Amino acid sequence: MKLLNYINGQLQEPVKGQWLDNIEPATGKVYSQIPASTADDLAQAVAAAGAAFPAWAATGAAERSTIMLRIADLIEQHQERLAQAESQDNGKPISLARVMDIPRAAANMRFFATAILHQSTETHYNEGHSLNYTLRQPIGVVGCISPWNLPLYLFTWKIAPALAAGNTVIAKPSEITPLTAFLFSELCIEAGLPAGVLNIVHGRGTEIGQAIIEHPKIKAISFTGGTATGKTIAATAAPMFKKLSLELGGKNPNIIFADCNWEEMLSTTVRSSFSNQGQICLCGSRIIIERSVYERFKTDFVARVKQLRIGDPSTDVNVGAVVSAGHLDKIMGYINSARQQGANILSGGTRVFLDGRCAEGYFIEPTIIDGLSADCNLNQEEIFGPVVTLIPFDTEEEAIAIANGTQYGLAATLWTQDLTRTHRIAEKLESGIVWVNCWLVRDLRTPFGGVKSSGVGREGGWEALKFFTEAKNVCVKL
C-alpha cells in the first residue's frame, strides 16, 4: 500500500518518486510506503495554500464551521477503520484507539468548529474621546507538525484551530505513524474542504519538516515533539519572526500522599504510568510517594502492574508495542543503565518476545524501578516508554523540590484529600497542568502546555485560536 500526499485538494505521489518504508511495530515488518517528500512537494503545497487563503479567510465562520463539522461526522462514521489503522501504525492497543484517539480527533474538529461561532471582540471605551476594539484576523499559511504517539488525536488538535481561524495549513504528520493522516485527507475530500485549504505533506522531519520551518511564506509553526527538536525549530524560525507554539518533552511527577483515596490512586496510577506503553507526554514517569506508605505502595503497585496483559495490539490487551526498533533500543538502554547503577527492578525490565505474527514486534514489559537518586539520568531525562521510577519523600517541601527538580514542567499529578495542601502545592509546582486526584481529565476550553523546557506557548481553547490569529487594534475618535 502506498500513502499519498494531499496537495491542492488531490492525492498525489511525491514529485521525485521517492518513498519511505512504514513499519508495523507489532510485527517489525514493512506494511506500507509513504512519500519521501522534498522541497518540490512543499513548493506545490505552499502555492496551493497561498492561493486558497484569501477565499478561505473571507469565508464566514458559519460556513467554515459547517465544513469542519462534516469532517467530524466522517471521523465518527469511520471510527472503527481509523482505530484499526491507528493501532496497526502505532502499536497501541486497539481498545485505546477506540476510546481515546479517534473520539478525541472528532471532538477536536467539533470543538473548534463551534468555538468560532461564539467568539467576541474586546472593546475599550476612552470616555468622551475614543473607542478601541480588537480584530482577530487569520495569519495566512501556517505549518502544523505533529508527533507519532497520538497521531490523529494531536494532528487534529493542531489543524482544527488553524482552519477554524481562517488560515490555510501545511501539515506534516510523523513519518513513523502516517496512516491516519492519510485517511483523514480522504475524509477532507469527501467533506468538501476547498482545495488548498489543508495540505498534508509526508516525509522525514529532517527533510520536509525542516523545509516547512524554513519556508518564508509559512508564517507560524505549531510543533509537538521532543525538546531537542524544539530547540532546532526555535533557532531556525525565531530569526524569521515566525509565531511559534512548541509543546515539548515532559518528566512528569506523580505525588502521592498517605491520605489519598488509595484504590482510586492505585488504579489511576497504573494508567498514568503505562497507557500507550508510557508514550504519552503526560504520563507520570516519576512516582513520588510519602515514606509512611512507600512499602505498601510498592507491594500493591507491582501486583497491579503484573496483571497487565501484553500482546498483539489488535486483540484485547492492555500493553501493545512501542513505536519502533530505535525507540525500543533507547528504552532498553535506560533500563540497562538503571541496572548498572544498582537500581532495584521491581517488575519488568525485559523485552517481550511473542509467538505468531508478533514474533518480531517491539514489546517491553511495564517496568518499575526504585533505589535511584532523584538527580540520576532516569529521573532527569525523558524516557517516553513503559518505565517508571519510585522515589520516597518525608516532607511536603521535599516532595515539591523533587517534583520541580528537572528541566521539564509539562504536567503533574497530586493525590491528597487535604484541600489546603492541594492549593498550596499546586501553586508551587512548576508545571503547565496540575491534576488533583485524577489524570488526563481534559476540558478542551482550557490552556494546554508546559513551562521550562516543556515548551513555549499554549494550545487548546481560546489560546489556540489566539495563536492562529493576529490581533489588530482599531481606534475610532469620537
List, as one string, the DSSP characters of 377-403: HHHHS---SSEEEEEEESSHHHHHHHH
- Pairing status of strand 286-290 against strand 387-393: parallel
Claim to verify: residue 229 and residue 353 sit in the same structural domain: no
In terms of residue numbers, what domain contains 220? 5-248+452-477
pLDDT score recorded for residue 121: 87
Claim to verify: residue 427 and residue 459 sit in the same structural domain: no
Q: Specify if 446 maps to a domain.
A: no
Q: Specify if 443 maps to a domain.
A: no
CA-nearest of 388, 368, 409 to 250 is 409
Instruction: From first to last of the 478 residues of the chain, give the pLDDT tens digit.
Output: 999 999 999 999 999 999 999 999 999 999 999 999 999 999 999 999 999 999 999 999 999 999 999 999 999 999 999 999 999 999 999 999 999 999 999 999 999 999 999 988 889 999 989 999 999 999 999 999 999 999 999 999 999 999 999 999 999 999 999 999 999 999 999 999 999 999 999 999 999 999 999 999 999 999 999 999 999 999 999 999 999 999 999 999 999 999 999 999 999 999 999 999 999 999 999 999 999 999 999 999 999 999 999 999 999 999 999 999 999 999 999 999 999 999 999 999 999 999 999 999 999 999 999 999 999 999 999 999 999 999 999 999 999 999 999 999 999 999 999 999 999 999 999 999 999 999 999 999 999 999 999 999 999 989 999 999 999 999 999 9
Claim to verify: residue 333 and residue 468 sit in the same structural domain: no
Claim to verify: residue 187 and residue 260 sit in the same structural domain: no
User: What CATH number does residue 40 fall under?
Assistant: 3.40.605.10
Claim to verify: residue 200 and residue 257 sit in the same structural domain: no
Claim to verify: residue 243 and residue 161 sit in the same structural domain: yes
Residue 252 Cα distances to 154, 283, 429, 434, 451, angstroms: 19, 7, 11, 10, 12
Q: Specify if 447 maps to a domain.
A: no
Q: Specify if 442 maps to a domain.
A: no
Q: Cell digits for 414?
A: 497530586
Claim to verify: residue 56 and residue 191 sit in the same structural domain: yes
Claim to verify: residue 270 and residue 203 sit in the same structural domain: no
Among the listed residues 86, 175, 247, 365, the single catalytic one is 247
SS3 state of residue 272: helix
Claim to verify: residue 203 and residue 328 sit in the same structural domain: no
Based on the structure, what is the number of domains in the chain?
2
pLDDT score recorded for residue 297: 98
User: What CATH number does residue 303 fall under?
Assistant: 3.40.309.10
- Residue 247: active-site member: yes
- Global pTM? 0.96
Claim to verify: residue 335 and residue 379 sit in the same structural domain: yes
d(CA 9, CA 411): 38
Q: Specify if 131 maps to a domain.
A: yes
Q: Specify if 161 maps to a domain.
A: yes
- Residue 76: active-site member: no
Q: Specify if 121 maps to a domain.
A: yes
Q: Beta partners for 448? A: 459
Q: Specify if 441 maps to a domain.
A: no
Claim to verify: residue 41 and residue 97 sit in the same structural domain: yes
List, as one string, the DSSP characters of 286-311: EEEEEGGGHHHHHHHHHHHHTT--BS
List, as one string, the DSSP characters of 135-155: EEEE-SEEEEE--SSSHHHHH
DSSP E strands in 328-465: the ranges are 344-347, 351-352, 363-364, 367-370, 387-393, 411-415, 433-436, 455-456
Claim to verify: residue 96 and residue 109 sit in the same structural domain: yes
Among the listed residues 281, 283, 290, 358, the single catalytic one is 281
